[in-house]
Amino acid sequence: MRKRPNIVLILNDDMGYSDIGCYGGEVDTPNLDALAAGGLRFSQFYNTARCSPSRASLLTGLHPHQTGIGVLTYDMGPEGYAGNLSDDCVTIPEALRRGGYRSYMSGKWHVASSLVKPTDAWPLQRGFDEFFGTIIGAGSFYDPNTLTRGNQDASHEARADGWFYTDAISDQAADYVRRHAREHADQPFFLYMAYTAPHWPLHAHDEDIAKYRGRFDAGWDTLRRERLERLVASGLLRPDWPLSDRDPSQPPWTEAEQKAWLLRCMEVYAAQIDRMDQGIGRLLDALRETGCHDDTLVIFLADNGACAEDIPEGVTVDVLVEQLMIARSHTRDGRPVRFGNDPAIMPGAEDTYQSYGTAWANLSNTPFRLYKHWIHEGGIATPLILHWPRGIPERGGLRHTPSYLPDIMATLLDVVRIDYPTERDGRPVPPLEGHSLRPAFDADLAERPPMFWEHEGNAAVRIGRWKLVRRYPGPWELYDMERDRTELNDLAGRHPDRVADMAARYEAWAERCGVIPRERVLEMMRQQSGETAFWEKEDA
């Protein structure tokens, strides 16, 4: 029997639908574009709107609530989500191990509640043979917290001259590929590369930022129109879907103030993605050098839509550094880090800690509405690129089949012909929730089973062309996604029976999968925590 194909799963963090070149964006991503040109792009692939839930769903083929990761990785107590990957689910590397795979991970984990002490929810205990990366969900790109190798603290590695997290993730992944070829050539491998770019803070190299000087000067209104034109021209989106309005909280570009600072924010964001793409290029070089390129299935996607969270001026160091551990108070050479979106400080360097804000996130998610956290298209629509020269015959193809994260596990197991396990350590695991996209390697599927989402009370059901979606605590909205992908014309009032039917299906799904009603989650959070993280403040 021929050896099973290798699998490289590349995930990035907080990126919009239309930032990369092959999805209509201004960012130079020649390596991702080449993967798209040599494989498939999906126009309607969806994540789960937030870092931890998306990772949990991706890794297990289940819904996040079934894995213990309902919101993030904070333990809510016995009545709430554990915030820790459950023992009663199976990860992709655990499933693949049964087929002789060796598994490697480089990058952000973010599905364990214990950040410093290794537990059963850390990568090596969840099927990976080797791990280098961070356990926590965010941090400095120059000196992240929880940097770990295997089960050991590796924070000293960030002290090396010129160290940068995006590069470290890329180079570690390429090194795994080369070492695997030398030491385990008889086995196939699974490599999970989980970048933190372009999640805030806005950290990037001067030479990458300089490349984008002037690239965004036309401003968000013009650039949103241009992106949509390119998306339509490429065939990813249909010409009859209009651009959503600019976020109503944001001014027209012509009236925006602090333009020099605003442009710098977007230039740094672009540079973060650019740096990731450069690293993906080095990974692809390693695949070519080792003769693996043609028989490796490479998958690229983002964990949630672009992020509109502002890092407030005056955010307390106590919260970021001490409580949340997502920042360092000082640079590696001892200078204080300046926190918050202060237009007097240009972002990018190690002593800054900023985000690019709502208006640019609105551009990143062109042509859709809303952002990370929400289940409207801006929160969950992601690029999905599949590249496998030996297994996918088409080059540069497009697929419009709606699909989402649980489908990845189902697809991989289908591709490598390994059954999904029924138990883990003698205990039963929930049946796989996803459906294989392998038939879509050849052509779009005629139909697919319903899809369901919930995050922080925001929720949706997609059945065929219909999407029922709710922005918590608001009412259900109903959209015809064939006519109105940008969710501009709410048809709930015209189709009350359809709304009632889909809402009932949602409730049945939520009950089955262990979704805790948002009211109860908020009550538990109020009882537990003193200070609320800045990204949760606007939520209730």
Provide the H-helix boundaries in 38-109.
Answer: 51-60, 92-97
Tokens of 254: 């012509």
Binding mask 216-235 for Ca ion (x = CB under 5 A): --------------------
- Closest approach of Ca ion to the CB of residue 95, in Å: 24
Is 110 annotated in the active site? yes
Closer residue to Ca ion in complex, CB, 91/304: 304
- Closest approach of Ca ion to the CB of residue 56, in Å: 12
- Closest approach of Ca ion to the CB of residue 121, in Å: 18
- Closest approach of Ca ion to the CB of residue 104, in Å: 21
Closer residue to Ca ion in complex, CB, 54/296: 54
Total binding residues for Ca ion by CB under 5 A?
5
Residues 287-316 that bind Ca ion (CB under 5 A): 303-304
Contact 93, 100 (CB under 8 A): no
User: Among 22, 51, 89, 307, which one carries the catalytic annotation?
Assistant: 51
Closer residue to Ca ion in complex, CB, 172/304: 304
Instruction: Give the Cα separation of 201 and 339 in Å (integer).
Output: 9
Binding mask 247-286 for Ca ion (x = CB under 5 A): ----------------------------------------
User: Angle CA(262)–CA(266)–CA(272) in degrees, nearest 5?
Assistant: 145
Closer residue to Ca ion in complex, CB, 13/26: 13
Contact 340, 315 (CB under 8 A): yes
Closer residue to Ca ion in complex, CB, 4/110: 110
Residues 41-80 that bind Ca ion (CB under 5 A): 51
Closer residue to Ca ion in complex, CB, 18/290: 18
Please give the residue whose beta carbon sits closest to Ca ion in the complex: 51
- Closest approach of Ca ion to the CB of residue 534, in Å: 16
Tokens of 69: 């990761």
Number of helices (H) and strands (E), helices first, in the chain? 13, 19
Binding mask 5-34 for Ca ion (x = CB under 5 A): --------xx--------------------
Instruction: Give the Cα separation of 438 and 415 in Å (integer).
Output: 7
Closer residue to Ca ion in complex, CB, 197/263: 197
Instruction: Give the Cα separation of 364 and 112 in Å (integer).
Output: 29
- Closest approach of Ca ion to the CB of residue 14, in Å: 4
- Closest approach of Ca ion to the CB of residue 287, in Å: 26
- Beta strand 458-463 with 451-455 is antiparallel
456 binds Ca ion (CB under 5 A): no
Binding mask 475-514 for Ca ion (x = CB under 5 A): ----------------------------------------
Instruction: Give the Cα separation of 48 and 70 in Å (integer).
Output: 10
Check whether the bond before 389 is cis (ω within 30° of 0): no
Helix axes 357-364, 219-234, angle to 10 degrees: 20
Closer residue to Ca ion in complex, CB, 304/355: 304
Instruction: Give the Cα separation of 310 and 341 in Å (integer).
Output: 7
HSE-up of residue 175 (Cα within 13 Å, Cβ side) = 11
Instruction: Give the Cα separation of 191 and 206 in Å (integer).
Output: 30
User: Among 22, 63, 89, 110, which one carries the catalytic annotation?
Assistant: 110
- Closest approach of Ca ion to the CB of residue 304, in Å: 5
Which residue pairs, CB below 8 angstroms and at least 24 apart, start in 310-314? 310/341, 310/355, 310/357, 310/358, 310/534, 311/200, 311/201, 311/339, 311/340, 311/341, 311/353, 311/354, 311/355, 311/534, 312/340, 312/341, 312/534, 313/340, 313/341, 313/342, 314/340
Catalytic residues: 51, 110
Residue ranges in contact with Ca ion by CB under 5 A:
13-14, 51, 303-304
